[in-house]
Structure 1
Amino acid sequence: MNKRLTMTLLLAAAVALAAPATAQQLFDFNGQAVVPAAVGGDLALDAIVYDAAPATTPIPLNFADYQYTLVITGLELITDGPTQVYAGGAIALYEDAATAADFTNGATFSDGTAILTGVVTDLNRTMYTATLGSVLGHVDWTGGTRLSDIAPEDQGGWPILSGINASASQTEPGYSENWDGKVEPTEPIVGNEVMPMGNLKVLFR
């Protein structure tokens, strides 16, 4: 095989190995929200993040040894109505190996390591019936011990989507409603691992 053809094949292999993954990526959560009674009040969410296999998480998480929780605080109600408009909240993804999250003690959702923190830039909460609705908003990640796992250009504009169930059977004491949803990147997050050229050459020996 001549050198030019060999190099062409090596470069083609490198491009293929660097191609973005196509598997769905998301932080899958189920939790409880507190909804404010009037404009100016704050919405809050305590949620547990689950392994949504075969989908993957945007950054690797160790569900075998840790519990992961998602917490939203300070999300201010700007406009009331069938569709409520919120803005200005904080969001954090926690990793904890010690205390299991317990809806009777909200502090157990935020007593771990904050691996991702950020802001909820906007969020709409729409109710279709007295008990059923949906959520659509966006998240910008700005901090946390794992922020560097996400390239700067991929840290903003993540959609947060959820179904709402405010039935008494689905709502824990002290909360207003159940949220079952996800936070996901706009494009799949790809790791920064690069195969050395020497390893690529082995493929063609």
Structure 2
Amino acid sequence: MKKKQSAIAVAVLSGALALLAGCASKPDNYYTLASPVAADAAPATPGGSALPLYIELAPVAVPERFARPQMVVRQPNGSVQVQVLEQHRWASSFENELRDALSAGIAGRLGALDVTKGGRQNSQPVWRIAVQLRQFDAVDGGRVDANFSWTLRRSDEARTMACQLSLGEAVGSGMDALARGAQRVTANAAAAMARSVDAARANPQATACPA
């Protein structure tokens, strides 16, 4: 009886070790949407003004299925099915990763100070940007397509500028390629948002993004 119990215990232990070994052979992979800012970023204070430019990005509104750290990919060939990939994750929850990447990209391109998390004196005006992600379709070996809308308002003005943008990037096979495509889409969105700030500064009457 004892030999049988020992054999069962060994079998259970072996199975547990095998399971752990299997898990260890497939570690989670983490990705970021952040990317280096373009080297030719525009200065925030044209004309030699000593006043800094401040931006503030509200939490990004995303569809509920993306409000998670796991990567969400769509099946190819127009399928309505999506996959939530447990072992392929963003460095933080997707909406937080997107917000951080956009705010850094906008600030870097404008040479602005990002006061999203504080640090601005109340007497200084700030450009407030509210972003909504309407679409984000990622297909392994296919494309990453996204649609953004955002509003832009200076804290000491009533005027609001409204903008919308659709972007797409072809991607190769594999999650690394897909993540790089998502990173490029995010960088291009940040560049467009930075341009909208420049347009609003240049034309105080504008309420829509230039075509």
**TM-score, structure 2 length as denominator?**
0.34
Bigger fraction of residues in helix: 2
Bigger fraction of residues in strand: 1
